[in-house]
Structure 1
Amino acid sequence: MNKIIDAHIHLDHYQPQDIEEIIFRDSTVEALIGVSYDLNSCIKNLAFTRKYKKFKSAFGWHPEQMLISDNDFSQLIDWMTVNKQEMIAIGEVGLPFYLRKKTEIPLEGYLERLESFIRLANIWNKPIVLHAVYDDAPVVCNLLEKYSIKKAHFHWFKGDEQTISRLNQNDYFISITPDVTYENEIQELVRHYPLEKMMVETDGPWPFEGLFQGQLTHPTMIHSSVTVIAEIKKLPIGEVYRQLYMNTKSFYKLI
């Protein structure tokens, strides 16, 4: 049986009646890395971690929203500090690429928040899960390099060849979503990025198209992703399953 790990999912964003379906439906899903959106999300994910053995929490603040106030940010950091032993990583954190396409907002405050999270990842020796695509990715790389961060996970990464090369040189990890089954951009990324620095994710409940049109996003979709990755890499599918599985277990210290 080919085991899989969903390296990035927003379990707390699912409807309550769907959560145990996500956790238990597919016995090949060994673990889920649940990322957080804000303090309330962190609290919910901590409860899931305590309830479900296969669920592991990352705590953080998602950047695709209006900038968090100083007071709320202090509360979040205080809470994370108290609960850091139950946190597998810091995340999801990063920069608001898509929000800035919709509205004009200054980037400085987001950079300050992100640098605070990166500093904590360094101090606490935790992996960091990043939302950083296209032009934002090199900016985030600068901060990661400033603090000598080694364990960085760029989820659902998109970027140019120069940035892809930089991530590879720094041994940063990326994760591939089910849109690899129909998006040329993601297929090209898989073609060029080393399998040894790759994971798979759903980013659920984000919906997908193609053969997943109209379906509730579920970790079982990862099996289709692995099939396509194996075809692109021209490798035996069993080898690809094993490598992706071990990559994630090692990165998040699940071994």
Structure 2
Amino acid sequence: MFVDSHCHLNFPDLVTNLDAHLAAMVDNKVSHALVVAVNLPDLPGVLSLAQSQPNLFASVGVHPDYEDTEEPTVAGLLELAKQPKVIAIGETGLDYYRLEGDLEWQRERFRTHIRAAKQAGLPLIIHTRSASADTIRIMQEEGADEFGGVMHCFTESWEVAQAAIDLNFYISFSGIVTFKKAEELKEVARRVPLERMLIETDSPYLAPVPFRGKMNQPAWVRHVAEHIAELRGEPLQRIADVTTENFFRLFAKARSMQ
């Protein structure tokens, strides 16, 4: 069985065909999925969706791309984390690719999430793009290694992966690893210790080969696993077993809900 460690199944393009996507998960042996929050206004939909299905979980957080939105507080995130099916804080982090100017508000928001995760005792889901140095620095300064988490949709270098692993974080690969030109990322996928690896779709984005360019869905996380198995010369079943076990080890609260 496979687990999609990061998706946005609550987004309109997916949730309107929820039954079909859940059925496709069954057909592709995808047992569970984590529906990840990106802002506070849409959070009720994330929580409701996770609570409606036994094999879906939720996170609470505000994505760094959302500039003009309700700002999270440590106290607020802690209260939301008490909701049923919430197993993580995030996604959070830094993204210097899409936004310009003074981005100190991103860094402060990131610190807020780290502090909330530490107090809640929950793992952190981190997004980083064009900001790896500041991301690792803030993780170190805030003691993120005390509780750990995952660098989701990883696209950085091996050096960044190693720094994150040293901070007690997992590395999660999305459909990007299947793309022909993603040679550096493929090499990272070969080198990351299996016990520190997760797989995801980040759906509805980043559909893996052979579905690149189409709307992604949790069922297609299987294709990420298949490609990683090929890269590493490992049996697909081993990638499935290890990444599933890693998911429930990291998101320990989810194991008690099985």
Q: Normalized against structure 1, the TM-score is what?
A: 0.88
Q: What SS does structure 2 have at the residue aligned with 1:95?
A: strand
> RMSD of the TM alignment (CA)?
1.9
Q: Is the CA contact (8 Å cut-off) linking 1:118 and 1:143 kept in structure 2? A: no
Q: Partner residue of 1:130?
A: 126
Q: Is the CA contact (8 Å cut-off) linking 1:67 and 1:109 kept in structure 2? A: no
Identity %: 22
- Measure, in 2, the Cα distance between the counterparts of 1:214 and 1:160: 24
Q: Is the CA contact (8 Å cut-off) linking 2:95 and 2:129 kept in structure 1? A: no
Q: Partner residue of 1:239?
A: 238
Q: Partner residue of 1:141?
A: 136
- Measure, in 2, the Cα distance between the counterparts of 1:41 and 1:176: 25
Q: Partner residue of 1:95?
A: 94
Q: What SS does structure 1 have at the residue aligned with 2:41?
A: helix
Q: Partner letter of residue 54 of structure 2?
A: K
Q: What SS does structure 2 have at the residue aligned with 1:185?
A: helix
Aligned pair count reads 245
Q: Partner letter of residue 130 of structure 1?
A: I
Task: Answer yes or no: is 1:215 the counterpart of 2:211.
Answer: no
Q: Partner letter of residue 223 of structure 1?
A: R
Q: Partner letter of residue 107 of structure 1?
A: L
Per-residue CA distance 1:150-188 (angstroms, 9 max, x = gap):
312111112233322212322311111122222323212
Q: What SS does structure 2 have at the residue aligned with 1:36?
A: coil
Which ranges of 4 or more aligned residues in structure 1 deviate by more than 6 Å? none
- Measure, in 1, the Cα distance between the counterparts of 2:150 and 2:251: 10
Q: What SS does structure 2 have at the residue aligned with 1:45?
A: helix
Q: 1:8 Cα deviation (Å)? A: 0.4
Q: Partner letter of residue 181 of structure 1?
A: T
Alignment of 1:167-246 (within 5 A): 167-182=164-179, 183-208=182-207, 210-246=209-245
- Measure, in 2, the Cα distance between the counterparts of 1:227 and 1:36: 27
- Measure, in 2, the Cα distance between the counterparts of 1:78 and 1:148: 19
Match of 2:108 among 105, 112, 121: 112
Q: Partner residue of 2:51?
A: 50
Q: Partner letter of residue 180 of structure 1?
A: V
Q: Partner residue of 2:21?
A: 22
Match of 1:10 among 5, 8, 11: 8
- Measure, in 1, the Cα distance between the counterparts of 2:79 and 2:19: 28
Q: Partner letter of residue 156 of structure 2?
A: G
Q: Partner residue of 1:80?
A: 77
Per-residue CA distance 1:5-32 (angstroms, 9 max, x = gap):
1000011213342222222322122111
- Measure, in 2, the Cα distance between the counterparts of 1:177 and 1:161: 16
Q: What SS does structure 2 have at the residue aligned with 1:39?
A: coil
Task: Return 5+ residue gaps in structure 2 as ranges.
Answer: none
- Measure, in 2, the Cα distance between the counterparts of 1:160 and 1:205: 25
- Measure, in 1, the Cα distance between the counterparts of 2:33 and 2:171: 16
Q: Partner residue of 1:33?
A: 34
Task: Return 5+ residue gaps in structure 1 as ranges.
Answer: none
Q: Is the CA contact (8 Å cut-off) linking 2:149 and 2:250 kept in structure 1? A: no
Q: Partner letter of residue 59 of structure 1?
A: V
Q: Is the CA contact (8 Å cut-off) linking 2:124 and 2:149 kept in structure 1? A: yes
- Measure, in 1, the Cα distance between the counterparts of 2:157 and 2:214: 31
Q: 1:66 Cα deviation (Å)? A: 2.0
- Measure, in 2, the Cα distance between the counterparts of 1:23 and 1:211: 20
Q: Is the CA contact (8 Å cut-off) linking 2:74 and 2:112 kept in structure 1? A: no
Q: Partner letter of residue 21 of structure 1?
A: A
Q: Normalized against structure 2, the TM-score is what?
A: 0.87
